[in-house]
Structure 1
Amino acid sequence: MSQTVVASGPGHRLFLAVPRGAPPAAGWPILYLLDGNAAFDFLTPDHLAAVPGLMLAGIGYDTDRQFAREQRTLDFTAPEGPGDGIRPDPVHPGRLAGGAAQFLDRLTGPLRAAAEAAAPVDPTRRTLWGHSFGGLFTLYALLTRPGAFARFAAISPSIWWDEALIRRVADGAGRLASPPPLLVALGDREKRSGSDGPPPDGPAPATMRFVADLRDRNGLSPQVHVLPGLVHIQTIAGSLPLALPFAADAVPG
């Protein structure tokens, strides 16, 4: 794997890890990692060595912080109502929400084009990974544009954020004609930031119910992994040994 290179663009930073050597005839399989600033911080040489034939693209923000909290809240949450769907965040005062449809256009348009200009990519072997709000967005992308990626990995998705809305998105999707593979991972000690009390003992019930409903209602067959002993932030690193081979093993479809 070549050394990671960083490219800056308007509002975003693109982090790339490109395999060494000649690409396959169809191009490299590629894993898109949302919150790329944080995701690439958690990647290790051992992670990359385990998947030498997988290209990685971190979609980050133009900041030196791991997370651009206001921007990711806007980008990763589903729209509601007419027009562009942008509205005040009902959970975090002072933030905006509802920009997921617009961000999905950018992700599959100019951001994808910039990432894939760096090396030949197999368009049938793209995987999307997201953590927390990024995991929520990954589910939104799967339910609204299941053909945008070949595989999806939703890590500790923030189902608690307007759960009724993401359930309406799932209801609107119905049973998918060709459901793509879905990996879901979450810790058994996660709790919301700022909440009182000790960490729970077990995975988030709302997430587990939602994933079960994806199977029953939408025809998906999620691979569900409960990561023992992990709190919310730890599931970024904890998910990588699962998500990287999941993306690398994606077969052309």
Structure 2
Amino acid sequence: MEKITGMGATGRVGPDHARAEARLAIFETEHPTHVLSQKTVATGPGHRLFIAAPRGTPPAQGWPVLYLLDGNAAFDFLTPAHLAAAEGLALVGVGYDTDRQFAREQRTFDFTAPDGPGDGIRPDPVHEGRMAGGAAQFLDRLTGALRKAAEDGLRVDPSRRTLWGHSFGGLFTLYAALTRPDSFARFAAISPSIWWDEALIHRIAARADPAVTPPLLVALGDREKRSGSDGPPPNGPAPATMAFVESLRWHPGLDPQVHVLPSLKHIETIAGSLPLAIRFAAGA
């Protein structure tokens, strides 16, 4: 299988973090709280799962589990301190079969919502040469074959699964929370790419079932800007994201937790959000 690189379909390269290789230093040593492993799953475009299983005997109902999208990057930013804080919590990174932190074209397709007639798949309106709209298919894969592979041999409490996603993964996390709120018990959307199709995510929110309102955490930095955009980093959180989160408060029963991470740029909110997400996922 050809590995996805950081080069876009048009030949343009993205920001440095989009091309970075995943060193996965967390796997180089043993950890007192977790046993780490990896496995490859052939479903879809090919995925890698990065698993941190708690040591010891699981509770009768199973471990709570935090699923991390862009698993190659998430586990690349994961530290021993994060694992120590996650004692009794399983972590599963859902990545792609690539040695890089991000599979840019594939994640664009998988993490963006369908829209329009038919299956809703269409050319990406923002990134020339990419396709978009595969989120429904990916959500089926995530809660089907990928979840089955991740939890094989890992006793998990089905009522305490949390989904975390960053950037486009954060956008997908919102999509999952609003369209299939029973797919996970909790949702943590980090620096979600509201800008990608702001009107679409607002339409999705307007159609959400008011009877099912899972706990939702949203975190973003106050120095974020779109990759490749000109000018200095802003001094404050993204207005579009804050406005969208505020609009969710009008949704009956939905009261998202919002955290602004001081002095953090976009890529930095991966590691910066993990302590929040670990506490959120470990909650009863």
Alpha-carbon distance between aligned partners in 2 of 1:28 and 1:54, rounded to the nearest angstrom: 6
Provide the residue aligned with 1:227 in structure 2.
Answer: 261
Q: Does 1:183 find its partner at 2:217?
A: yes
Q: Give deviations 1:103-135, integer Å, cap 9, x for gaps.
A: 000000000011111311000000000000000
Q: How many residues align?
A: 249
Single out whichever of 5-14 and 28-37 deviates more from structure 2. 5-14
Alpha-carbon distance between aligned partners in 1 of 2:123 and 2:159, rounded to the nearest angstrom: 37
Q: 1:105 aligns with which of 140, 144, 151?
A: 140
Give runs of ≥4 in structure 1 deviating > 3 Å.
Answer: none
Contact 2:41 2:149 survives alignment (8 Å):
no
Cα displacement (A) at 1:67: 0.1
Provide the residue aligned with 1:70 in structure 2.
Answer: 105
Q: Map 1:129-148 onto structure 2 (within 5 A).
A: 129-148=164-183
Instruction: Tell me the C-alpha RMSD between the 2 structures.
Output: 0.9
Alpha-carbon distance between aligned partners in 1 of 2:226 and 2:176, rounded to the nearest angstrom: 23
Alpha-carbon distance between aligned partners in 1 of 2:141 and 2:202, rounded to the nearest angstrom: 24
Cα displacement (A) at 1:218: 4.8
Alpha-carbon distance between aligned partners in 1 of 2:154 and 2:164, rounded to the nearest angstrom: 20
Provide the residue aligned with 2:47 in structure 1.
Answer: 12
Q: Map 1:142-221 onto structure 2 (within 5 A).
A: 142-174=177-209, 176-221=210-255
- List alignment gaps of at least 5 residues for structure 1: none
Single out whichever of 74-83 and 216-225 deviates more from structure 2. 216-225
Q: Give deviations 1:199-240, integer Å, cap 9, x for gaps.
A: 111000000000011111353111100001000000000000
Alpha-carbon distance between aligned partners in 1 of 2:136 and 2:150, rounded to the nearest angstrom: 20
Contact 1:170 1:218 survives alignment (8 Å):
no
Where 2:183 maps in the other structure, the secondary structure is coil
For normalisation by structure 1, the TM-score amounts to 0.97
Q: Does 1:128 find its partner at 2:163?
A: yes
Where 2:157 maps in the other structure, the secondary structure is strand
Contact 1:173 1:218 survives alignment (8 Å):
no
Contact 2:67 2:94 survives alignment (8 Å):
yes
Alpha-carbon distance between aligned partners in 2 of 1:242 and 1:106, rounded to the nearest angstrom: 26
Contact 1:89 1:97 survives alignment (8 Å):
yes
Alpha-carbon distance between aligned partners in 1 of 2:240 and 2:182, rounded to the nearest angstrom: 26
